[in-house]
Amino acid sequence: MTDIQPTPVADAQSGNLVDRYAPPWLKPYARLARWDRPIGIWLLFWPCVWGLALAAVANPERGFDWIAAILMVLGAALMRGAGCTFNDIVDRDIDSQVARTRSRPIPSGQVTAREALYFMIAQALLASVILFQFNRFTVWACVASLVLVAIYPFMKRITWWPQAFLGLAFSYGALVGWSSQTGGLGWAPVLLYAGTILWVIGYDTLYALQDIEDDALIGVKSTARLFGDYVKPVVAVLYVGAFLLWMAAALLIGAGIVFAVLSMAAAALLAWQVWTIDPALPDNPRSRFYSNHYVGIIVSLALLAEWVW
C-alpha cells in the first residue's frame, strides 16, 4: 500500500464503522470492498432470502434454511466486495474524473491497482469456500454468474443499459436461494429473478442521477441519461413490473393473502421513491436508493410470514 493517508470516500455516510474504528492500514481496502457502505451487501443478499423463503413457502415441511441464509450473507459481503474492487480497478480512470468517486482508494492513490487485484482475489477465494457448502447445481450456477460480474464494469462504455447488466448480476441471489434448497430451477424463481432485475434497474437509475452531469461530460452511458426527463414514469413502470412479477412468483407456489397484503408496504415505498425523487436536492437520489434496503426487508418478511401462516 502507498504512504498516502487514507481519507473518507465522498459518498460514504459520515461516522460509518470503517471511518471510526478500522485501523489506518485496513481503511483503503475496506473502502474498496465498500464496507463503509454496506447497502450493497444487503441489496445483494435480500434476493437470496427471497429465493430461500419462496422455496420454504413451496415446501413448508422443509422450512426456511437459516444456515443457508447465514452463509449467503457472508458470501454476499465477500462477492460484493470482490465485484466492487474489480469495478474500481477497471474504472480507475473514469473515477478520477467524477466528483463523487475521485476520492476512492485507487484514483486517490491510497491503493495501487496491483494491490487491489490481490485483495480482489483473496475475497473471491474466501467466497468460494462458502459456495462449496451448497449443492452442485448451485455451485455451477454461481460460477456462471461470474461472467455477468466480469462484464458489468465495461457496459457503461458501450451501452445505455449498464443498469440492466447490474440487474442480471445483482438479482442472481433469487436463483441461488431457490436452487440451494431444490437442486434446480422452476418458473417461480425465474419470475422472481425477472422482477428483481427490473427492481435493480429502477433503483440504480435513481442512484445514477447523482452522476448525470459528470457522466455526460466524460461520455459514460447510463439509463439515467437515457431516460432523461422521463426518469420518473420509466422507473415507475419498472417498479410496477417488478412488483407484479414478484406477486406472480409467490402465487405460483401457493402464496396467498398474507404475502399479498404485507407486500403492499414494499409497493408503497417504491411509489414514494418515484414520487419524491428530485436530483436537484442534495442527497435526495442517494436516500431514495438506500430505502430499497427496507423494500428487501419487507418482501422477505412477507414471504416468511406466508410460510409461517
Task: Classify residue 21 by burial, with Cβ atoms within 10 Å: 0-12, 13-18, 19+.
Answer: exposed
Domains of the chain: 17-308 (1.10.357.140)
97-115 mean pLDDT? 82
Residues 6+ apart with CB under 8 A from 125: none
Average pLDDT for residues 117-141, to the nearest whole number? Answer: 94
Residue 308 has a pLDDT of 87
pLDDT in tens, 165-188: 999 999 999 999 999 999 999 999
- Flag whether pLDDT at 298 surpasses 90: yes
Phi, psi of 3 (to 5 degrees): -85, 0
Predicted confidence at residue 275, as pLDDT, reads 96
Q: Are 265 and 204 in contact (CB under 8 A)?
A: no
- Alpha-carbon span 256 to 90, nearest angstrom: 45
Using pLDDT thresholds of 50, 70 and 90, give the confidence band for residue 305. very high
**Residue 272 backbone phi and psi in degrees, to 5:** -60, -40
Would you state the pLDDT for residue 126?
95
Number of other residues whose CB lies within 10 A of the CB of residue 92: 18
Residue 84 C-alpha cell reads as 466492487
Query: Cα–chain-centroid distance for residue 136?
Result: 24
Higher-confidence residue: 110 or 204?
204
The pLDDT assigned to 32 comes to 86
Q: CA-to-CA distance for 225 and 160, rounded, in angstroms?
A: 8
* Contact indicator for 35, 81 with CB cutoff of 8 Å: yes
Question: Above 60 in pLDDT, residue 6?
Answer: no
% of residues, the chain, pLDDT over 90: 64
pLDDT at 210 over 90: no
